């Protein structure tokens, strides 16, 4: 969980053609620029979940506190408008113990598709139930679920 083996580290350094802290540091601007590519960012986003899941100990979902920290880290340069509301929702709902891979993966699609104020959200689409619960919570909070007769 959240660690590289020595072999993985050495292989990564070889692939990046780095052999010192200084040469690693010199690669950061290129790697950061690479994350501007939507597909590269998506690959990093999906990899992050697998990297931090403790499969050796049978972990099947990320603990919420770990997932929250990872979302803050992964989106540190390009924070979606809904991120803070999503994280607050998770923190306020202690019954949510873990984040399944499907929810992790779909969150990226969710923030890309539903708009900043959730007006484009379609409840007939196949979103994970936790995202449906979040939308209902946000609409209640913002009084957007008010029905008029």
Does residue 19 have a pLDDT over 80? Answer: yes
Backbone angles phi, psi at 63, to 5 degrees: -55, 145
Confidence of residue 94 (pLDDT cuts 50, 70, 90): confident
Q: Among 47-51, 98-102, 116-120, which stretch is predicted with the lowest mean pLDDT? A: 116-120
The C-alpha atoms of residue 29 and residue 138 are separated, in whole angstroms, by 37
* Band (111; pLDDT cuts 50, 70, 90): very high
pLDDT of residue 11: 94
Cα dihedral 137, 139, 140, 143 in deg (nearest 10): 160
Mean pLDDT of 46-74: 92
| Least confident segment among 31-40, 56-65, 103-112, 137-146 | 137-146
Domains, in order of start, for the chain: 35-141 (1.10.238.200)
Instruction: Tell me what pLDDT residue 144 has.
Output: 58
Q: What angle do CA 123, 125, 128 make, to 5 degrees?
A: 85
Residue position matching structure tokens 């603990």: 63
Confidence grade of residue 145 (pLDDT, cut at 50, 70, 90): low
Angle at 69 between CA 64 and CA 72, to 5 degrees: 125
């Amino acid at each position: 969980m959240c660690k590289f083996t020595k072999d993985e580290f050495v292989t990564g350094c070889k692939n990046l053609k780095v052999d010192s802290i200084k040469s690693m540091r010199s690669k950061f601007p290129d790697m950061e620029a690479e994350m501007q590519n939507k597909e590269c960012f998506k690959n990093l986003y999906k990899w992050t979940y697998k990297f931090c899941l403790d499969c050796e100990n049978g972990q099947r979902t990320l603990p919420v506190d770990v997932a929250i920290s990872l979302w803050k880290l992964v989106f540190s340069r390009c924070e979606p408008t809904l991120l803070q509301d999503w994280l607050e929702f998770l923190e306020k709902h202690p019954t949510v113990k873990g984040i399944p891979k499907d929810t992790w993966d779909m969150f990226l699609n969710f923030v890309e598709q539903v708009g900043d104020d959730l007006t484009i959200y379609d409840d007939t689409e196949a979103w994970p139930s936790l995202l449906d619960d979040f939308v209902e919570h946000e609409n209640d909070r913002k009084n957007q679920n008010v029905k008029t007769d």
